[in-house]
Every structure is written in C-alpha cells, then in structure tokens.
Amino acid sequence: MKKPDKRETVNLFFSAFLIIAFIVCAHFFTQFTSNLDATLATVINVAIYAIFGLLIFYATRVGDGKPVKRFSPVTLIVMVLPSLYIIIASVAKFMPLSDIFAAQNPGTVSVITALAAVALGYGLPYTFLSGFEMEPETVTKTEETTVLEGGVEADVIGAVEETTEKAEEAVEEATTEE
C-alpha cells in the first residue's frame, strides 16, 4: 500500500471534520424536532440520519481516478429495500412490525430506525456508484528495458539470453535430425 500524499491526507482530514460537524448539527436539529408533531419529527430525524449515511458514503468512496458507475441489484435488495421498509414501518402504524421499529417516545427515532436510515443513505448511492477506480499506470518501453551495465542485472539478462540460445539450438538440432 502506498503512503498517502499531502493532498490525500488533507482530504481525509476534511472528510473527518465534515462528519464531526454534521453530528453536531444533527444534535441541534434533533433538539429542534422535539417541539414538532411526532410524525413530522420522525421524518425529519430519519432524513438527518439518511444524510449522515450519504456523508459516510462520500467520506469512504472518494478518490483519484474515474468514477465507476454500475447498478447493483444485490445492494438494492439486501440493504436499501429492508432499510426503506424499516423506515416506513416506523412511521406507518398499520404496517407489520411497526410496534418493533417505532420509538417508545413519540417524535424520536429508535436505534434500529436510525441505523436503517444511515444504511439507506449509504446504500442508495452505493447501488448506482461504487466509488473511483485508478487508471492503470502505463509503463514505457525504455523503463522496462533499461539495464545498468554490469552487476546482477546484467548477469541475469546474460543467463536468460544464454538459456534461450541453447534452447533454440536444441530445437534446431532436433528438427535437423528428423
């Protein structure tokens, strides 16, 4: 693994700062929602956690290279759809398992609903994007054929050339004998 350069270190710092700042802002938003209607407060809290999942996706999937776009039905089925069901069931009282997913205190979000919202925020972009892919480094011909004169490199190349010459001679002798 290569050592991160200065730019990558600064990007990691800003990503960590962004997540910490969002946690502080989310705390103030959740305090604000305590005075709202229970359903609206739950929806706002779920949106806050989903945005947190988006930030986690951004912080873990940024990088150099070209973005890789793809559709992942496995991520959609295993992560996004169950998360969406948990979120909807925590608000809609008529759905099965609503009593398990709903919070005990009205206007708040249960732990399982908060985790489902974070998984939804992370899973939606991950379903369609997987991050960034490094382009392969091209090696020029001069770099791979440059050999220092003398030393171990010359001995190895000389030994390889000798064995290829001997193999060619053996093939020629075998063909002439036939």
* Per-residue pLDDT reduced to its tens digit, 58-109: 777 766 566 677 788 888 899 999 999 999 998 888 889 888 888 787 767 8
In a domain, 1, yes or no: no
If asked whether residues 151 and 92 sit together in one domain, one would say no
23, pLDDT greater than 70: yes
If asked whether residues 145 and 129 sit together in one domain, one would say no
At position 35, the amino acid (one-letter code) is N
174, pLDDT greater than 50: yes
158, pLDDT greater than 70: no
If asked whether residues 123 and 53 sit together in one domain, one would say yes
If asked whether residues 126 and 91 sit together in one domain, one would say yes
If asked whether residues 76 and 158 sit together in one domain, one would say no
Cα–Cα distance between 117 and 13 in angstroms, integer?
A: 25
In a domain, 80, yes or no: yes
Mean pLDDT on 40-64: 82
Q: Which domain holds residue 91?
A: 6-133
Global pTM reads: 0.62
pLDDT digits (tens, 9 = 90+) for 127-157: 887 766 666 655 555 555 554 455 555 555 6
If asked whether residues 85 and 164 sit together in one domain, one would say no
Mean pLDDT of all residues in the chain? 78
Cα–Cα distance between 79 and 115 in angstroms, integer?
A: 11
Quickly state the pLDDT bin for 50 (edges 50, 70, 90): very high
H or E segment to which residue 5 belongs:
none
If asked whether residues 107 and 154 sit together in one domain, one would say no
In a domain, 108, yes or no: yes
Task: Determine contact, residues 95/26, Cβ cutoff 8 Å.
Answer: no
Secondary structure of 42-108 as H, E, C letters = HHHHHHHHHHHHHHHHHHHHCCCCEEEECCCHHHHHHHHHHHHHHHHHHHCCCCCCHHHHCCCCCCC
**What's the distance, CA 61 to chain centroid?**
4
Which residue do the tokens 């000798």 mark? 162
If asked whether residues 122 and 41 sit together in one domain, one would say yes
Work out how many domains the chain is built from and give that number.
2
In a domain, 97, yes or no: yes
H or E segment to which residue 172 belongs:
helix 151-177
Cα–Cα distance between 59 and 156 in angstroms, integer?
A: 47
The contacts of residue 136 (CB under 8 Å, 6+ apart) are none
